[in-house]
Chains A and B, each alone.
Chain A
Amino acid sequence: MPDPIQKPRVIPPAPGGGGGEGPKEPKVEKPNTEDLLKRMRKVDPEQAKRYRQRTGQ
Chain B
Amino acid sequence: MQIQFGLETEIGISRENSAELDVVAESIALVRSATAPGVRQRWDYRHEDPHQDARGFRVAELRQDTDEANYFAQDASRPLSFSEIKSDLVLRNGARFYNDHAHPEYCTPECGTLRELAEQDASGDALLIECARAIGAASGNPVLLYKNNTDFRGHSYGCHENYLLPRSLSWDRLADGMQSFLVTRQIFCGAGKYGWEAEDRFVQAGFQLAQRSDFFSELQSVDTMQRRPLVNTRDEPHADPALYRRFHVIIGDANLSPFATYLKVGTSALVLQALVNGAPRERIPRLKDPLAALPAISRDPEWKWHVRLAGGRTATAIEVQRAYLELVKEFAPPTDPEWAALVDAWQEVLLDLERDPRSTADRLDWTAKHRLIEQFREGEGIAPDDPWLRSLDLSYHLMDPAQGLFYGLLDSGAFRLPFPREVIYGRPLAAPLSTRAALRGGCIEKFGGQVESAQWDGVVLRDGPRRIEVDLRDVFSAERVAAGRAAIAAAARPADLLSLAFAKSI
Contacts and interface: CB of A to CB of B under 8 A. Distances in A.
Nearest to A10: B351
B174 interface: no
Nearest to A22: B341
Contact of B395 (A27, A46, A47, A56): A47
B151 interface: yes
B342 interface: yes
A11 B338 CA distance: 20
A18 B341 contact: yes
Interface in B344-375: 344-345, 347-348, 351-352, 354, 362-363, 372-373, 375
Given A31-B413, A31-B414, A52-B153, A20 B340 contact: yes
A11 B155 CA distance: 40
B285 interface: yes
B375 A56 contact: no
Contacts, number: 208
A18 B318 CA distance: 20
Nearest to B322: A6
B432 interface: no
B157 interface: yes
A51 to B, nearest CB: 5
Interface in A1-57: 1-6, 8-11, 13-14, 17-28, 31-33, 35-37, 39-41, 43-57
Contacts of B388: 43, 45
A24 B416 contact: yes
Nearest to A33: B412
Interface in B275-290: 282-286
B259 interface: yes
Contact of B337 (A21, A31, A54): A21
Central interface residue in B150, B250, B418, by most chain A CB within 10 Å:
B418
Contacts of A46: 387, 391
Nearest to A37: B376
> Which 10 residue pairs of A and B lie closest in terms of their CB atoms, listed nearest first?
A20-B337, A22-B341, A56-B157, A28-B413, A18-B341, A31-B414, A48-B390, A18-B344, A54-B102, A45-B388
B340 A36 contact: no
Contacts of B313: 3, 5
Contacts of B390: 48
B155 A48 contact: no
A19 B320 contact: no
Interface in B1-43: 10, 12-14, 19, 21, 23-24
Contacts of A32: 412-413
Nearest to A32: B412
Contacts of B226: 55
Interface in B284-331: 284-286, 309, 311, 313, 315, 318-320, 322-323, 326
A17 B350 CA distance: 13
B56 interface: no
A22 B423 CA distance: 13
B285 A5 contact: yes
A19 B362 CA distance: 18
B341 A19 contact: yes
